[in-house]
């Protein structure tokens, strides 16, 4: 996912939230959104297992041309299917068993008809040939498409970024996060003198004899479409290894020639400490077979699987800034830590509908604090989470609308991180919490998930029902308020004011200076039995619990 947008995103959040507040939901989405976001039988009838994407990029003309082979298993008998390609790109032909298939286009969806039914269980393939001028990103990575730039030597420096918008902005595929290939070959041809770096392992280069060189990269793990990336530039390469939980992990770095000297010490200071911290909290890096890479881009960054896009200019913080205001965010490179965190949450565990993008961003935002926790202590990590609250808007839910390719509010970053820290505090057993985070990555290894998968898993392994906690913070814009009543006779009562009808959440309170104790408020007024508790000595743990507090007579 996109990096947490400390400045830029606040604007987007406000605009999105306003749209959601004042426009009825049924007027927000149209036919094009459904074609893109809905899993109709025309998409579920085939299960993609492999792509071979083979594209030539002409940087001067800003033109691409090539093909993508779809290998699939028929899930049921069918004779028509849908794939996706933005309508500004031309489809030159769709080839199947040596014959051209007829196709129809509607918005960015393409429907092809097979000459006879493809029988359930059959493994088959077709190839889409296409060409054109792809959408050019204006402010990658927050919009999508090709980012055509030049380095300071005037050499082409090009990258793709397409999260949210979709990979079909530049290549034909089944553009829905629920279906990932098992492996993929990415062949990108570029003018001689330039290098292309994509995901997975380098499989070699071929001189095409026409002034172009083809670079072949092979991904041997499931990969979601928006992670498939082109990175073209005058790159230099250096390598290292990390001895981790699953053995030796290859680290490969591709940076602009002019930045090699800066990159070496900076990557050394960030990458291995990141891998040590994340393997501790989340389990083994999920893609040892494909290695780990950082590839320098002109845009800020993106979690491109096993080829993380890096554009933070070799400095700590988020372009040098600490969004939390605590100082902890300036001790490490935001883009290396955040985008690599997505290798576990986003790439290993992928939301099957983009409405659940909060799963990617909440855990990855939280991973930043766990990085701090590992290297600087638990209190430091909590201070960072607390500091990030200043970026939260609470204007719209962090979950989006299903089936229309719609993501929730930008609060999914900071509010999501706050939520996970709160759940850890409720569970009150740090080793159990760590095993839950590792367990999620094991249970849903290389899989796609939805809201229920994550919340049910956490509740089950925490040994308590956390469904109303997640529902309040994910499905509603508001945070809950804890309301206290202090009676003249000394009795104290409290209750939650919340949107969730069955909201209940344990919370820590104390009399000033004493030790925190958990109480178990619900929506109904319940007595609070803490001896000596008064209006003036009540303290609620609002450092870890992101709640309102209201004290009545």
**Choices 142-150, 359-367, 434-442, 492-500 (CB under 5 A): range interacting with Zn ion:** 359-367
**1 is a contact residue toward Zn ion (CB under 5 A):** yes
How many residues in the shown chain lie near Zn ion by CB under 5 A? 2
Long-range contacts formed by 55-60: CB under 8 A, 24+ apart? 55/171, 55/187, 55/188, 55/189, 55/230, 56/188, 56/189, 56/190, 56/212, 57/158, 57/188, 57/189, 57/190, 57/196, 57/230, 57/232, 58/191, 59/148, 59/156, 59/158, 59/190, 59/191, 59/194, 59/232
Tell me how far, at minimum, the Cβ of 297 lies from Zn ion, in Å. 15
CA distance 369 to 432: 18
Q: Quick one: 324 or 364, whose CB is closer to Zn ion?
A: 364
x/- map, 309-348, Zn ion, by CB under 5 A: ----------------------------------------
- 1 vs 437, beta carbon nearer Zn ion: 1
Q: Provide, rounded to whole angstroms, the least separation between the CB of residue 303 and Zn ion.
A: 6
Shortest approach of Zn ion to residue 141 CB, angstroms? 10
Closer residue to Zn ion in complex, CB, 1/190: 1
Nearer residue to Zn ion within complex by CB, 179 or 407: 407
Edge to edge, the sheet with strand 78-84 lists 78-84, 109-118, 103-106
* Residue 357 near Zn ion by CB under 5 A: no
Stretch that binds Zn ion, among 87-95, 173-181, 196-204, 358-366 (CB under 5 A): 358-366
Question: What's the min distance (Å) between Cβ of 2 and Zn ion?
Answer: 5
How long is the chain?
A: 553
Pick between residue 164 and residue 521 the one whose CB is nearest to Zn ion: 164
Our measurement of the distance from residue 538's CA atom to the centroid of its chain's CA atoms, rounded to an integer in Å, reads 40
Inter-CA distances, 493 with 214, 489, 545, Å? 71, 12, 19
Closest distance between Zn ion and the C-beta of residue 404, in Å? 21
If the CB atoms of residues 1 and 17 are measured against Zn ion, the closer one turns out to be 1
CA distance 381 to 363: 14
Q: Is 308 in the site for Zn ion (CB under 5 A)?
A: no
CB of residue 361 to Zn ion, shortest distance in Å: 5
**Shortest Å distance, C-beta 89 to Zn ion:** 27
Residue 475 CA to residue 478 CA, distance in Å, equals 9
Nearer to Zn ion, 8 or 530 (CB): 8
Q: Which residues, at least 6 apart from 342, have a Cβ–Cβ distance to it below 8 Å?
A: 1, 303, 360, 364
| Dihedral in degrees, nearest 10, Cα atoms 244, 428, 457, 431 | 20
> How far are the Cα atoms of 112, 368, 416 from residue 1, in angstroms, in the given order?
31, 14, 14
- Nearest distance in Å: CB 29, Zn ion: 24
* Closer to Zn ion by Cβ: residue 437 or 482: 437
DSSP 3-state assignment of 160? strand
Residue number, 110 or 398, with CB nearest to Zn ion: 398
Contact 130, 67 (CB under 8 A): yes
* Region 140-159 residues binding Zn ion, contact defined as CB under 5 A: none
User: 362-381 mask for Zn ion (x: CB under 5 A)?
Assistant: --x-----------------
The span of 1-9, 160-168, 275-283, 466-474 binding Zn ion (CB under 5 A) equals 1-9
- String marking each residue 84-123 x if it binds Zn ion according to CB under 5 A: ----------------------------------------
Per-residue DSSP letters for 444-479? TTTEEE-HHHHHHHHHHHHTS--HHHHHHHHH-SSP
- What is the rounded CA–CA span in Å between residue 164 and residue 338? 18
Q: What are phi and psi for residue 373, nearest 5 degrees?
A: -55, -45
Sheet containing strand 538-540, strands side by side = 517-519, 507-511, 538-540
Single out the segment in contact with Zn ion by CB under 5 A; choices: 63-71, 99-107, 357-365, 496-504: 357-365
- Shortest separation between residue 358's beta carbon and Zn ion, angstroms: 11
**Closest residue to Zn ion in the complex (CB):** 1
Interface residues with Zn ion (CB under 5 A) are 1, 364
């Amino acid at each position: 996912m996109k990096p947490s947008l400390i400045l830029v995103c606040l604007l987007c959040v406000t605009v999105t939230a306003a749209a959601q507040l004042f426009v009825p939901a049924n007027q927000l989405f149209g036919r094009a959104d459904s074609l893109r976001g809905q899993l109709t039988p025309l998409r579920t009838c085939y299960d993609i297992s492999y792509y071979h994407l083979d594209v030539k990029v002409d940087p001067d003309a800003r033109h691409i041309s090539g093909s993508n082979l779809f290998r699939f298993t028929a899930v049921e008998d069918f004779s028509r299917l849908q794939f996706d390609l933005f309508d500004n790109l031309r489809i030159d032909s769709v080839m199947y068993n040596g014959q051209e298939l007829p196709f129809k286009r509607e918005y960015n969806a393409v429907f092809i008809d097979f000459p006879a039914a493809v029988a359930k269980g059959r493994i088959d393939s077709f190839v889409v040939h296409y060409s054109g001028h792809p959408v050019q990103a204006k402010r990658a990575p927050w919009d999508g498409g090709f980012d055509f730039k030049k380095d300071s030597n005037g050499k082409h420096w090009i990258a793709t970024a397409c999260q949210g918008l979709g990979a079909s902005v530049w290549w034909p595929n089944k553009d829905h996060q629920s279906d990932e290939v098992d492996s993929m070959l990415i062949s990108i041809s570029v003018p001689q003198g330039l290098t292309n770096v994509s995901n997975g392992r380098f499989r070699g280069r071929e001189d095409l004899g026409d002034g172009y060189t083809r670079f072949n990269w092979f991904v041997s793990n499931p990969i979601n479409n928006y992670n498939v990336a082109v990175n073209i530039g005058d790159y230099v390469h250096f390598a290292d290894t990390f001895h981790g939980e699953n053995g030796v992990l290859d680290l490969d770095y591709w940076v602009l020639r002019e930045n090699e000297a800066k990159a070496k010490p900076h990557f050394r200071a960030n990458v291995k400490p990141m891998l040590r911290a994340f393997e501790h909290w989340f389990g083994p890096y999920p893609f040892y077979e494909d290695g780990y890479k950082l590839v320098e881009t002109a845009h800020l960054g993106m979690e491109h699987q096993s080829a993380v896009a890096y554009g933070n200019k070799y400095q700590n913080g988020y372009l040098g800034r600490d969004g939390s205001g605590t100082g902890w965010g300036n001790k490490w490179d935001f883009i290396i830590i955040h985008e690599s965190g997505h290798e576990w949450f986003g790439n290993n565990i992928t939301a099957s509908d983009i409405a659940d993008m909060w799963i990617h961003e909440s855990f990855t935002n939280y991973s930043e604090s766990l990085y701090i926790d590992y290297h600087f202590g638990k209190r430091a990590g909590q201070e960072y989470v607390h500091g990030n609250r200043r970026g939260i808007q609470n204007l719209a839910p962090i979950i989006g609308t299903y089936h229309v390719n719609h993501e929730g509010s930008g609060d999914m970053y900071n509010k999501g991180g706050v939520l996970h820290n709160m759940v850890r505090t409720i569970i009150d057993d740090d080793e159990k919490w760590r095993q839950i985070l590792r367990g999620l990555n094991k249970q849903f290894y290389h899989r796609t998930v939805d809201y229920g998968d994550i919340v049910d898993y956490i509740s089950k392994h925490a040994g308590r029902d956390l469904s109303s906690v997640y529902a309040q913070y994910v499905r509603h814009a508001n945070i809950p308020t804890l309301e206290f009543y202090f009676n003249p006779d000394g009795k104290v009562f409290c209750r939650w004011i919340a949107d969730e009808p069955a909201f209940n959440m344990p919370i820590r309170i104390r009399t000033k200076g004493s030790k925190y104790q958990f109480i178990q408020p619900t929506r109904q007024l319940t007595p609070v039995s803490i001896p000596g508790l008064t209006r003036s000595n009540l303290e609620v743990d609002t450092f870890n619990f992101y709640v309102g507090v209201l004290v009545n007579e």
